[in-house]
Structure 1
Amino acid sequence: MADFVSKSVVKSAERELATPLAGKAVLNTIVGNILADNPWGCTPYTSGGETFPAVAKSSEYYSGAVIYENNDGKQVGRISVRSPASGAFDTIIATILADNTIETAMGGTPSHDSSEDGYSITLKCHAANGELYNVTFKRDKVSISSYESDSILTTVETWADTVSELA
């Protein structure tokens, strides 16, 4: 019987942040700078006849909740929110907070604690050596996945060391 033989070794790495990102604006600034400045030296590429940028968002979401508390401070309701864009998330939260019909139905006062929000942006990157890899930013960690060359990890890690929010 024939054995399977490894053809590649796909790696992943994760950096736990000492302090969670202060908010989605910080995350969006970091990602915006990456998309504008390409600090990892990624290169555009062609696949299936289509040209792709060196670095691009491949997924993005924002999540949080509006909590309803009665006059005794007891939680009487909760609405979870998940949105594909930062601005849409803000709009949805504001709309829920302002909706008196929902407030009456829940029997409590709404509030939104942004310190409990979650968010994730994944960037798809094409390294100069031809590898495609992903870098995912979340509130409390940054991860790199689907890379083979250790130079990719070194490049991203060296860059991350220069961004104080990613310490």
Structure 2
Amino acid sequence: MQLRQESAGCQMRYFKPKPGTKSAVRILNTPFADIAAFTMVVRALVLNNPIGCTSYRSVKKSHPPLEIVREMYTAKFLYTNDKGKRIGTGQEMYDSVDGYEFGIAAMITNMANIAAHQGKVRHIPGADHFSVLLKCHDPNGELYFLSIARDRVTLSSYIDEGIRKRVEAWAEGVPAMV
């Protein structure tokens, strides 16, 4: 992991370019605490557009500056017997935050599933995964992708280094991503 030295002796993380295709990844020091913290960052990015993306038009369609292309939310579950011993695990994947939240409630109260496992079910929020893929249109006309996951941010398909610098500056200004 490469770190950039700050004047106060504190080290800050930065996006490390990957060889080959033009992409960069930023591994977060601490994963997002929960779905609420994750969603707040994604919504603020889309609503406030701090990286300066612009609207554009393709054949017969107008696009917003930042467009959510894909969402993926995975909830993990643990099944235990009366003695607390693990007797099974499970995971469910959803394509929206609402689906994720309703799905967790459904899994915990699904009596047929609980009976099939012959034990108690418990949601393990710390093991859950979240990711959102956004398509961004740069003022220079370039389209690139920004993937925000629970533990990393990946910038891909860009050419102009100014894009990486703007995304890096945005990420450094988000407390949950430092």
TM-score (norm: length of structure 2): 0.85
Which amino acid is the alignment partner of residue 77 of structure 1?
Answer: G
Deviations 1:45-100 (A, max 9, x none): 11113111111101101002221111222221222100001111111111111122
Partner of 2:44: 33
Aligned length: 159
Which amino acid is the alignment partner of residue 60 of structure 1?
Answer: E
Range moving further from structure 2, 90-99 or 148-157: 90-99
Structure of greater Rg: 1
Q: Secondary structure at the match of 2:52?
A: coil
Range moving further from structure 2, 99-108 or 88-97: 99-108
Q: Are 1:86 and 2:109 an aligned pair?
A: no
Which amino acid is the alignment partner of residue 54 of structure 1?
Answer: P
Q: Distance in 2 between matches of 1:131 and 1:62?
A: 28
Deviations 1:4-26 (A, max 9, x none): xxxxx851000010111111111
Partner of 1:109: 120
Written as runs of structure 1 = structure 2, the 5 A alignment for 1:41-120 is 41-120=52-131
TM-score (norm: length of structure 1): 0.91
Partner of 1:4: none
Q: Are 1:15 and 2:15 an aligned pair?
A: no
Q: Distance in 2 between matches of 1:166 and 1:38?
A: 16
Match of 2:147 among 136, 147, 157: 136
Deviations 1:117-141 (A, max 9, x none): 0010011100000000111111111
Q: Distance in 2 between matches of 1:93 and 1:42?
A: 34
Structure 1: runs of 5 or more not aligned: 1-8
Structure 1 residue runs of 4+, over 4 Å off?
none
Identical columns (%):
33
Range moving further from structure 2, 45-54 or 114-123: 45-54
Aligned Cα root-mean-square deviation (Å):
1.2
Q: Distance in 1 between matches of 2:21 and 2:117?
A: 49
Partner of 2:163: 152
Q: Secondary structure at the match of 1:32?
A: helix
